[in-house]
A and B are shown apart, each in its own frame.
Chain A
Amino acid sequence: DAGITQSPRHKVTETGTPVTLRCHQTENHRYMYWYRQDPGHGLRLIHYSYGVKDTDKGEVSDGYSVSRSKTEDFLLTLESATSSQTSVYFCAIGASGTSSYEQYFGPGTRLTVT
């Protein structure tokens, strides 16, 4: 298994509060991704990073920000959580310089916004 951990694994928070989810990898991969999974929507990309301090938006980036100050850590922040951000969040990593596009996923964080 790829060395990817996510913390926390579960969180319940109130509407309007800030929330930060952490993704940590031990594989030294260049690319890191944040997805959310919702019933009927599959996996949707929120933000991704292609190197330290290099990030870009994905399909559903509104209401989210990210930071990557070290190769191994990728943080996802909900500045002011809303009920529509209740979801399961997955971090993924991918290598560069290969001919394939495989990504390897972490175990997920279940976030509930009340």
Chain B
Amino acid sequence: DQQVKQNSPSLSVQEGRISILNCDYTNSMFDYFLWYKKYPAEGPTFLISISSIKDKNEDGRFTVFLNKSAKHLSLHIVPSQPGDSAVYFCAASAYYGGSQGNLIFGKGTKLSVKP
């Protein structure tokens, strides 16, 4: 039973255009959401996060939007650059009984940005 779903295994975008990566979740207890980027042969690197008390968080070219009613979040990259080509993982966590919960990851979306 997947609690965090990334339904698009891959996405191809032209350089300079917007990339939109989507993530859906099922657990209403999740209160923190993160995006990680992963290049081949490297570990995932933290990109951006958002708390459930917000609906938007922006960091440079990267913006994450959270729609709690739809249990949906998205990562926007504007403008997209060839160096953004990587696998992007969505992750979520919940705070249970006074301790932080473990991260639950989606399966990832491979983004290809073409020059």
Contacts and interface: CB of A to CB of B under 8 A. Distances in A.
Contact of A43 (B32, B41, B49, B89): B89
Contact of B32 (A50, A101, A104): A101
Contacts of B42: 107-108
Interface in A31-54: 31, 33, 40-45, 48, 50
25 contacts: A4-B43, A31-B100, A42-B89, A42-B106, A43-B44, A43-B105, A45-B102, A45-B103, A48-B102, A50-B99, A92-B43, A96-B100, A99-B51, A100-B49, A101-B34, A101-B101, A101-B103, A102-B46, A102-B49, A103-B46, A104-B46, A105-B36, A105-B44, A107-B43, A108-B42
Nearest to A38: B107
Interface in A13-33: 31, 33
Nearest to B94: A101
Interface residues of B, number: 24
Contacts of B32: 100-101
B46 A101 contact: no
Nearest to B6: A42
Given A43-B44, A100-B32, 4 more contacts: A31-B100, A45-B103, A50-B99, A90-B44
Interface residues of A, number: 26
Interface in A44-91: 44-45, 48, 50, 58, 90
Interface string B35-66: 01000011111100101000000000000000
Contacts of B101: 101
Interface of A: 4, 31, 33, 40-45, 48, 50, 58, 90, 92, 94, 96, 99-108
Contacts of A33: 102
Interface in B54-92: 89, 91
Contacts of B46: 102-104
A71 to B, nearest CB: 18
A45 B91 CA distance: 12
B103 A90 contact: no
A66 to B, nearest CB: 14
